[in-house]
């Protein structure tokens, strides 16, 4: 089957996960063409030479550690005209060079628009859809309700009327909508191959490097060893080691860590859960999806959820490691086999409909569900 796969460029988590699925599709004999932007484009182009097309993507703007809705809106409006010209030129190029029969989107809009224009079936594979397609089992505080309602509206409008939604998640929730399947998180091969151990260090991942007091804060716990990624520096500060980015080094430090301190990003939390590492999650403000992941970490007993990194919060988290380890010991996941089995079955069904001419045209609606 000819498949167009859309991957957003904001952050590398989408690219890392999509790389796993694209590799599986190629092994199954499918022809795959990929559209992406920014850093994700470069990662995927290196992994799949000749298959990846660069488009213009949507980017978040930050004010301090929080997502700035106003700055993001201004950035989007300023770049939209040129982005549209670039993307529609790519659309015309794809029309000439590749005839897809199916679209798979990891929360990416261009591939969805392409599918609507061609009335092609769409399969969604991402973690964001859980916000609108499942019933939450955590109480959303008043301070987060605005972010929750905004996130829910965005998710509903992103890929409406898709053929099926595969929602990756490390926590199970009751579904509220049809055509939806919850599957375990997509784990990259390097993590699947890692052999977990319990060392002396705590891995700290800081994606928003504007928190310049982090080293001084961690030094308030001199009896703990911290290995910090995110500043892309190699520096020794006593009990705090800053590490330049290295995929192999990061995975080795993650696999041997006694615990993980991170934001609410889905990819690292999922990998930490898979490796059964206790998690201290401090979500970036104004990102509800991160808040939800952090809240579920605490709900499941896998770690703690705090609004800020403080010495007292870290001490409280480290004090409870034994209980978190017990809860994580009960987590089970057979690699990526559950998603692959469900996806293969869905593609087989869609392919059979295509061959017999029974495929139902996709609705042309552009609004939410």
* pLDDT at position 72: 36
* pLDDT at position 113: 84
**Nearest CA to 221 among 289, 310, 150?**
310
Q: H-type helices in 236-356, by residue range? A: 247-256, 266-274, 288-299, 311-319, 321-329, 337-356
* pLDDT tens, position by position, 158-192: 899 999 999 999 999 999 999 999 999 999 999 99
Q: Average pLDDT, stretch 261-269?
A: 95
User: How many Å is the maximal CA-CA distance in the chain?
Assistant: 68
With 60 as the cut, is the pLDDT of residue 362 above it?
no
pLDDT class for 114, splitting at 50, 70, 90?
Answer: confident
With 50 as the cut, is the pLDDT of residue 109 above it?
yes
**What are the helix and strand counts (H, E) for the chain?**
14, 16
With 90 as the cut, is the pLDDT of residue 49 above it?
yes
DSSP-assigned letters across all residues of 171-192: S---B-SSSEEEEPPP--HHHH
Q: Rounded to two decimals, what is the model's pTM? A: 0.87
Q: H-type helices in the chain, by residue range? A: 13-27, 38-47, 69-97, 109-118, 130-133, 142-158, 189-193, 214-218, 247-256, 266-274, 288-299, 311-319, 321-329, 337-356
């Amino acid at each position: 089957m000819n498949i167009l796969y859309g991957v957003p460029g904001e952050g590398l988590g989408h690219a890392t996960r999509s790389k796993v699925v694209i590799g599986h599709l190629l092994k199954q004999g499918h022809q795959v063409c990929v559209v992406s932007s920014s850093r994700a484009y470069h990662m995927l182009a290196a992994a799949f030479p000749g298959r990846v097309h660069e488009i213009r993507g949507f980017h978040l703007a930050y004010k301090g550690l929080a997502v700035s809705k106003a700055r993001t809106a201004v950035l989007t409006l300023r770049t939209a005209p040129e982005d549209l010209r670039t993307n529609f030129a790519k659309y015309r190029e794809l029309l000439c060079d590749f005839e897809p029969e199916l679209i798979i989107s990891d929360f990416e809009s261009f591939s969805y628009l392409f599918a609507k224009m061609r009335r092609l079936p769409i399969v969604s594979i991402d973690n964001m859809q859980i916000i609108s397609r499942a019933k939450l089992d955590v109480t959303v505080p008043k301070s987060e309700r605005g972010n929750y309602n905004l996130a829910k509206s965005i998710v509903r409008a992103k890929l409406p009327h898709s053929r099926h939604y595969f929602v990756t998640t490390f926590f199970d929730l009751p579904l509220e909508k049809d055509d939806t399947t919850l599957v375990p998180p997509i784990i990259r091969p390097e993590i699947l191959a890692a052999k977990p151990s319990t060392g002396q260090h705590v891995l700290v991942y800081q994606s928003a490097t504007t928190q310049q007091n982090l080293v001084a804060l961690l030094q308030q716990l001199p009896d703990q060893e911290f290995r910090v990624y995110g500043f892309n520096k190699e520096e020794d500060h006593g009990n705090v080691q800053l590490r330049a980015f290295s995929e192999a080094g990061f995975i080795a430090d993650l696999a041997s860590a006694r615990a993980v301190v991170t934001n609410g990003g889905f990819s690292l939390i999922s990998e930490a859960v898979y490796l059964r590492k206790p998690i201290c999650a401090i979500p970036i403000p104004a990102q509800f999806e991160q808040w939800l992941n952090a809240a579920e970490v605490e709900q499941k007993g896998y770690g703690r959820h705090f609004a800020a990194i403080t010495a007292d919060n870290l001490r409280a988290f480290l004090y409870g490691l034994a209980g978190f380890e017990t809860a994580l010991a009960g987590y089970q996941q057979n690699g990526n086999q559950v998603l692959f089995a469900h996806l293969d079955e869905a593609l087989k069904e869609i392919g059979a409909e295509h061959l017999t001419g029974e495929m139902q045209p996709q609705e042309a609606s552009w609004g939410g569900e």
